[in-house]
A = this chain, B = another copy of it.
């Protein structure tokens, strides 16, 4: 990839430049003089690098501030130009695929979506490409102003090879997503697992803002978990970190099943997965089985007071609670964020999870729900681009 260089003067200049840009981004309107103080860089250095940043469009001079009480020249405020470049985020979900453009601050400027399943055969990426072009036109953005496109895929993803190892809902196996996408877009493509992408989003603009160690647990079609450690996404030795669908929360139950029972999915999946919930419910209903039942229906029934549904969902929530407690005992995150489909009805089951966690986890840990809403996936994908993109400073 990028040439291995480490010790020359250019490296230190770029590093300082990055720091200055970061400082302006974080500390809002700020004067050169203040940057010099906080970053322990000399005033001339800051001025020179800011000059370049101004030229390159990353930064704007935004009017003069007031002078201090004791007098002195007015500071010239610098602000980060979040419109210096644009980023595309794509959230490939089991049901729909969302495409969005955002500025550098994560403001979603426009979105498009289409049903995933209908377009699987014909070329899902072709459709995304169409939406990207529509959004470019709509928002009057020129291609060379786009930093890159981030894609979150619902399955294990090898970000080194750029392939989706396994995404059952899309029937993708070792699908070279990054290569396929790179052929369609004139800017860099970054891909990752949907849960990983979700933590990135939540840690950037959601309820895990600025937390260095945080875990997002997504409960939807399956159960998954994205882990951030030391402010960085942790993917594991073989991109399988956070596969909590395999957690065993009941060893006696587990021993009853043979290996076959879990082929392709884990112990916990067989209790908390959508199909499993429906099956359990049907079994409990016996001859009163309902046609076309979904997991959401079961939860809705439970909420409305149905005793059978309540028993089934309580069991599910219990399993999830213990799984979360186990994650906490191992990872000791600052907070656990709950996301995914079921997180909407969180007020109902959150107390039970909190209770289990407070009783059984090694440390008291805050449990929150996502705050990014339905755009979490695309926001995370955008964040992925910002984090992985090496040269977020190169002139263009």
A295 within 8 A of B: no
Please measure, in the bound complex, the distance between the C-alpha atom of A331 and the C-alpha atom of B236, giving whole angstroms: 6
Q: Given A236-B331, A240-B362 in contact, is the A7-B11 Cβ separation under 8 Å?
A: no
Q: Which of A196-234 contact B (CB under 8 A)?
A: 212-213, 225, 227, 229-230, 232, 234
Provide the residues of chain B in CB contact with A78, threshold 8 Å: none
A55 within 8 A of B: no
Provide the residues of chain B in CB contact with A12, threshold 8 Å: 7-9, 11-12
Provide the residues of chain B in CB contact with A247, threshold 8 Å: 326, 329-330
Q: Given A229-B229, A251-B319, A266-B362 in contact, is the A244-B330 Cβ separation under 8 Å?
A: yes
**Count of A interface residues, CB-CB < 8 Å:** 64
Provide the residues of chain B in CB contact with A8, threshold 8 Å: 12
Q: Which of A222-281 contact B (CB under 8 A)?
A: 225, 227, 229-230, 232, 234-252, 254-255, 259, 262, 266-267
Q: Which of A312-369 contact B (CB under 8 A)?
A: 318-319, 322, 325-327, 329-334, 359-363
Indicate if the CB atoms of B361 and A236 lie closer than 8 Å.
no
A19 within 8 A of B: yes
Please measure, in the bound complex, the distance between the C-alpha atom of A330 and the C-alpha atom of B327, giving whole angstroms: 7
**Further pairs besides A6-B16, A254-B360: 18, Cβ < 8 Å:** A6-B15, A7-B19, A9-B12, A12-B12, A225-B330, A236-B332, A238-B332, A240-B362, A243-B363, A246-B360, A247-B326, A249-B251, A251-B318, A252-B252, A254-B322, A259-B359, A262-B359, A326-B330
